[in-house]
Structure 1
Amino acid sequence: MSSTAARTRLRFNPKLFAVAVLASLVLGALLGWIAKQTGAEWLVTTLDTIGSTFTKLLSFTVLPLIFTAIVVGINSLRGLGGGRTAARLGGKTALWFAITSLIAVVIGLVVGGLFQPGRGLVIEPDPAKLQAIGEKTHGSWLDLLNGLVPENLISAFADGETLQVVFVSLIIGAATYSLGDKAKPFVDFNKAAFEVIQRVLGWIIRLAPIGTLGLIGNAVATYGNEFFVPLVKLIGSTYVACLLVLFAVYPLLLALVARVSPVRFFAKAWTVLQFAFVSRSSGATLPMTRQAAQNLGVPSSYANFAVPLASTTKMDGCAAIYPAVGSMFIANLFGIHLGPVQYLTIIAVAVFGSIATAGVTGWFTMLTLTVGALGFPPEVVATGIAIAYAVDPIMDMMRTATNVAGQVVVPVVVARSENVLDDEVLAAPSAPPLLESREPATV
C-alpha cells in the first residue's frame, strides 16, 4: 500500500464514520424535539438550513455524475466481449430489474393490506393543499413520453430533468460506442470529468454527520398533526415492506441465484446503505454503490454501466413498495375500494413504469403515476400526497437504502449468471468507498 493510501485510511475510518452518523441521528432528533416543544423558530431555521445546504451540495453533482457515468459505462462494455455480450448483459439487467420490482410491489401490497394505513378517517379534499401541490399532481403515461425528450441538451440540465438527462446520456453513450476510436477524445474527457465529480462527492460525503443532524432535526421539528395515527401506519408499512425486501428477498437472491453469502454482501455494502439512508439520494450514493459492486466481484466494465443506470431506474423502495403502500393509504383515507383490477394496475405500473423515477424525487412521480392510473380524482390525489408529504423524509431514508441495495444486488446476480463475478475480489477485504479504488479484473 502506498503512503498516500495509508494516510487516506488514517483520515477516514468507516467505523468511526458510521458511529458519527448514528450519533447525529440521535442528536438531530433530540434538537428537533426541543425545537418543537419550545417553539424555538431560530433552532428550526438553523436545522433546516444545515439540512438543505447538505442536500444542495449533493444535488448539484447528480446530473453531471449521471451523464458522465452512463457515457463512460456504455463505452466500458467493450471490455466484455463486444456488442452481442453488451446487449445480452443489458437484457439480463433489465429482466432482473423487472423481477425484483415485481416481488417488491407484491410485498408492498401484502404489507399494506395487513396494516391498512389511512383506514378509519374521512378526509375531504382541502383547496389549500390542492394549491400547494400545484401542477405536480398532473401526470400520465402520455405526459411521461412527452417529457422524455428535451427541447435541447442545455434545458435538460438547466431544468434539472433527470429522466431527460438519462435519455440523452443513453443516446450519446450509444453514439460514442458506435463511433469507436473517433469518439475517444470525448469519452476520455467524460472519464476525467467522472473522476473529478467522484472526488468532489468524496469531500461532500465527509459532511454527512452534520447534514444528517440538520435533516433529521428539521423532520422531527415539523412532524406531527391530526393525521398522526394513519401517518404512523404509513411509515410502519413502508419500513416493514422495505425491511422484508432488504433482509429477506435480496439475501435469498444472493444465496440461491448468485451464490454469494448475504453476510459478506452486507459486510461490504453496509457503509453504502448507511449513507443512502441518511442522504436520501441514490444519485449522490452512486460512486459508493459502484465501488460496493466492484468490491463484491462485479467487473468494473459492467459495474460502470449497470450501477449508474440502476441509480435512476432501479428503485424498489420508491418505485415499487411505496406506490403500492401509498396508493392504499390514499384510497383508505377517502374510502375508495380497490379491487383485483386496481391491484393488477399497481403491479403493472411498478414493473413497467419504474423508468419514470429519477433522482431524489422519484417517489413523487411514481406515486402520482400510480394513483392516476387507478383513476383517482385529481383533488384526491393532491390531498393524499400532501398528507403523506408531511412525513416523507422519514420514509425516504428507508426507501433509498432499499433502492441502493437493489442497485448492487442486480449487478451481482447478472455477473454471476455470466460467469464473470470475481470470487477472489469477493473474498478480499473491501476498500473504503470513494477513497481507495480497487478494480476487479475484467474479461
Structure 2
Amino acid sequence: DASAFVHMPSMLTTEEVNKTAAVSIPQLVTSLIPTNIFLDLTGARSVSVIGIVIFTLIAGIALLKVKKEAPEEGQKLSAGINAIQIWVMKMVRIVIALTPYGVMALMTTVFSSYHFEQFASLLGFIGACYIAIFMMFIVHAILLILSGNNPARYFSMVWPVLTFAFVSRSSAASIPLAISAQEKFGVQSTIANISASFGSSMGQNGCAGIYPAIMVAMIAPTIGIDPLSLHFLAAMLPAIALGSIGVAGVGGGGTFAALIVLSTLNFPVALVGIFIAIEPIVDMARTALNVNGSMMSGVLANRILNNHTADDMPAVIDRP
C-alpha cells in the first residue's frame, strides 16, 4: 500500500520533475559552462561545482600566460592566490574539527523522521539498492588491491568521510573532508582537489550509476521490455553515462539522474514518484558510494601519475 508514503517529506516538486525530464543531452552539456561565476560560487545551480572548476581551469591558463609575458606581475598574482587558498583552508579545517558534532545531530534527525511501516512495502527495492552499493564497494576494494594499495588502511582512513556523507546526503558538503582524507592517504593536493570537486557533480557511482540502472531495470518489464537484452543495454548504458554529468551534489540528486535517463529512453517518468518517498533511505548509502568513488579516482590517478603507493608514505601525516 503506497498510501503510507503520502505524508512523508519529499525534496522534489512536480515542476522540478517535469523540468528535469525535459532536459536534453545538449542542454545538459551546455549548462556546465558558467555564465555567472559569482552565481556559481553561491552554489545556486546543481552544476555549480563543475562551472567553478571550468572557470578555474580558464583562470589558471590565463595566470600561466601572465607569468610568461609579465613575470613580476604574475608572481604577485600567484602569491595573492596562494595566500587566499591558505586562509580558506584554515577556515575549512575549523569546520572539519566541528564535524563530529554535526554528524551526531544529522543522524538523530534522519533516524527519528521515518518509521518502519512507512517504507516496508518497498523493502525489496531498498535491499536491491543496498546490495548493489555494497558490491560496488567491493569493486573499489579490488581496484585498490590491483593498484598496490591496502584496502583496510584506505577504508580506515576514509571511514569518517563516508559516515559524514551517509548522514548528510551531500557530496558537495563532503568535498573538504574527501580532500583531507586523500591527502592523508598520500594523494597529491592537486589531484585530491580535482577528484573531489569533479566527483561531487559527475561520474557518481551511486546516484548516477546504480540507482538509475536499478530503476530502469524495474520499470522496463512493466512496459514489455526485457532489461537484459543486448539491444536495451546498448541504449541504457550510454544514457546512464551521459546522465551522470552534472548531477546535483546534494540530497535527491539520484532522482534527477533517474529522470534524465528515463526521459532519454522514453520511459514514463511519472513512475519515479513511487520511489520518492524512500529517497532519503537509499540516498544515504548512494552518497557514501559517490564520495568514495571520487576519492578512489584520486587515489588511482595519484598511483598512475606518480607510480607509487600510499603504503610508501608515512603512517600518519600531520595536518598543517
Does the TM-score normalized on the shorter chain lie above 0.5?
Answer: yes
Q: Within the alignment, does 1:145 sit opposite 2:35 as a pair?
A: no
Distance verdict in 2 for CA 1:155–1:176, change over 3 Å? same
Equivalent of 1:252 in 126, 136, 142 = 142
Q: Distance in 1 between matches of 2:58 and 2:232?
A: 38
Q: Is the 8 A contact 2:145 2:151 kept in 1?
A: yes
Q: Unaligned stretches of 5+ in structure 1?
A: 1-35, 53-128, 431-435, 439-443
RMSD: 3.0
Identity of aligned residues (%): 26
Distance verdict in 2 for CA 1:150–1:173, change over 3 Å? closer
Q: Distance in 1 between matches of 2:106 and 2:220?
A: 35
Q: Distance in 1 between matches of 2:308 and 2:253?
A: 30
Equivalent of 2:265 in 374, 381, 385 = 374
Q: Within the alignment, does 1:399 sit opposite 2:286 as a pair?
A: yes
Q: Within the alignment, does 1:264 sit opposite 2:142 as a pair?
A: no
- 1:24-423 to 2 correspondence within 5 Å? 133-157=17-41, 160-180=44-64, 181=67, 182=74, 183-184=77-78, 185-186=80-81, 188-220=83-115, 223-224=118-119, 228-229=120-121, 231-246=122-137, 248-256=138-146, 258-333=147-222, 336-338=225-227, 339-360=229-250, 361-376=252-267, 380-381=268-269, 383-419=270-306, 421=308, 423=310
Q: Unaligned stretches of 5+ in structure 2?
A: 68-73
Q: Is the 8 A contact 1:326 1:367 kept in 2?
A: yes
Which residue identity is paired with 1:300? S
Q: Which has the higher contact order (CA 8 A, sep 6+)?
A: 1
Q: Distance in 1 between matches of 2:244 and 2:17?
A: 22
Q: Is the 8 A contact 1:295 1:425 kept in 2?
A: no
Give the 3-state SS of the residue equivalent to 2:47 in structure 1.
helix
Q: Distance in 2 between matches of 1:412 and 1:155?
A: 31
Q: Distance in 2 between matches of 1:372 and 1:200?
A: 40
Give the CA deviation at 1:419.
2.9
Q: State the Cα deviation string for residues 32-69 of structure 1 (Å, max 9, x = none).
A: xxxx9xxxx9xx9xxx8xxx9xxxxxxxxxxxxxxxxx
Pairs aligned (count): 300
Which residue identity is paired with 2:176? P
Give the CA deviation at 1:350.
3.0
TM-score (norm 1): 0.60
Q: Is the 8 A contact 1:313 1:355 kept in 2?
A: yes
Give the 3-state SS of the residue equivalent to 2:114 in structure 1.
helix
Q: Distance in 2 between matches of 1:148 and 1:272?
A: 27
Give the CA deviation at 1:222.
8.5
